[in-house]
């Protein structure tokens, strides 16, 4: 695969889930303002110049280096791909049919990515000198281990003769790889116990005890923790979001790194519900635990466990 010569380049910016490695960097060089290829560096900022918050500890430009550390399972990988045409305005070459493709190589296999438009562009745009083509990548992280974002860029390069006629053209392609590791954000441990019931033995109750531990490097806020039961059962929260006549909702728990929190649910069998669902080895299927949280930077995360079961009486 032929490598393109300068001044063509590709840069990536905007990893919004991992902020420890943010640094101030402009994707394009800064020629004199009198130059035809001058681009305002403010276009690389995530907000308008002059709106910076002096108390905000991070730089206003988010960049994605070739190796940027860890992401967390349950969160969404998100970044912007920028293909910049750095030719001078009077160059004897023309760039057209620019196309960006990306795929995520996860431990379970390769996943083609559907890129979203970051600006108004045509399917095969002609990126003029000093302009850029931007695409947004989003990928839900669902497994631990090494991930690789593979980016392919292709474009047509046409040489213009002195009489402004296209004399020759060729297609150029190149590929860049960006690696990171997806780690577990929350450690979940569960325990199912039978609860005493004043009703007949046919109507059973269970207590679901859950221990959550923050395995991330930063603080997270738990938004919702629910237990989604099979139709045979119904679930009642015994946590901060419990609804009682003499109890008001408390604020969502905030967990610092390595903090542990205990939560519980009461699972009651419905009197008019369908029959219990049983696994091949004779265990009763109760339901699934669903957890939603937000990081200290506002990114959302979601985790769902497998089916929780218990032995038949």
Cα separation, 178 vs 147, in Å, equals 8
Q: What is the pLDDT of residues 104-129, one digit of tens each?
A: 999 999 999 998 876 555 555 678 88
Give the highest mean pLDDT range of 20-24, 47-51, 254-258, 267-271: 254-258
171 vs 246, residue with greater confidence: 171
Return the higher-pLDDT residue of 241 and 266: 266
Domains, the chain, with CATH or none: 8-183 (2.60.40.10), 186-311 (2.60.40.1470)
15-30: average pLDDT: 40
Can you spell out the DSSP letters for 189-218? Answer: EEEEEEE--SS-TTS-EEEEEEEEEE-SSS
Sheet containing 233-237: give its strands across.
186-195, 205-214, 260-269, 233-237
Highest-pLDDT range among 8-22, 85-99, 122-136: 85-99
Distance CA 214, CA 295 (A): 11
3-state secondary structure of 228: strand
First CA to last CA across the chain, in angstroms? 65
Q: Which two tokens stand for residue 98?
A: 């620019």
Mean pLDDT of 266-282: 85
> What does the block give as tokens for 62?
């988010």
Query: From residue 211, how far is each of 63, 265, 289 by CA, in Å?
Result: 36, 12, 12
Please give the Cα distance from 243 to 241 (Å, whole number).
6
7 preceded by a cis bond (ω within 30 of 0)? yes
Percentage of the chain beyond pLDDT 70 is: 68
Sheet holding 76-85, edge to edge: 8-13, 76-85, 132-140, 116-117
Q: Going along the chain, which residue ranges are E strands? A: 8-13, 67-72, 76-85, 93-106, 109-112, 116-117, 132-140, 145-160, 166-183, 186-195, 205-214, 220-229, 233-237, 254-255, 260-269, 283-295, 300-304, 308-311
């Amino acid at each position: 695969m032929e490598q393109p010569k300068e001044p063509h380049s590709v840069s990536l910016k905007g990893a919004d889930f991992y902020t420890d490695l943010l640094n101030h960097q402009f994707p394009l060089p800064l020629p004199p303002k009198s130059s035809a290829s001058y681009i305002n560096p403010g276009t690389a900022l995530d907000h308008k110049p002059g709106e910076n918050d002096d108390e905000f500890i991070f730089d206003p430009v988010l960049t994605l280096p070739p190796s940027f550390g860890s992401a967390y399972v349950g969160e969404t990988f998100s970044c912007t791909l920028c293909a910049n045409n750095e030719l001078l305005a009077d160059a004897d070459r023309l760039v057209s049919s620019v196309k960006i493709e990306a795929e995520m190589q996860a431990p379970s296999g390769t996943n083609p990515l559907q890129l979203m438009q970051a600006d108004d562009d045509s399917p095969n745009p002609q990126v003029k000198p000093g302009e850029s083509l931007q695409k947004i990548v989003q990928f839900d992280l669902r497994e631990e281990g090494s991930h690789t974002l593979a980016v392919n860029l292709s474009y047509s390069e046409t040489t213009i003769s002195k009489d402004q006629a296209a004399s020759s053209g060729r297609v150029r392609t190149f590929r860049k790889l960006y690696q990171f590791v997806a780690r577990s954000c929350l450690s979940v441990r569960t325990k199912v116990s039978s609860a005493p019931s004043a009703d007949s033995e046919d109507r059973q109750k269970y207590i679901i005890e859950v221990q959550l531990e923050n395995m991330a490097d930063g603080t997270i806020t738990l938004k919702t923790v629910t237990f989604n039961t099979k139709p045979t059962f119904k679930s009642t929260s015994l946590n901060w979001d419990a609804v009682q006549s003499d109890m008001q909702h408390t604020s969502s728990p905030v967990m610092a790194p390595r903090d542990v929190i205990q939560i519980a649910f009461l699972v009651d069998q419905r009197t008019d519900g369908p029959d219990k669902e049983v696994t091949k080895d004779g265990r009763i299927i109760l339901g699934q635990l669903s957890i939603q949280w937000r990081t200290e930077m506002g990114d959302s995360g979601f985790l769902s466990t497998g089916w929780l079961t218990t032995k038949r009486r």
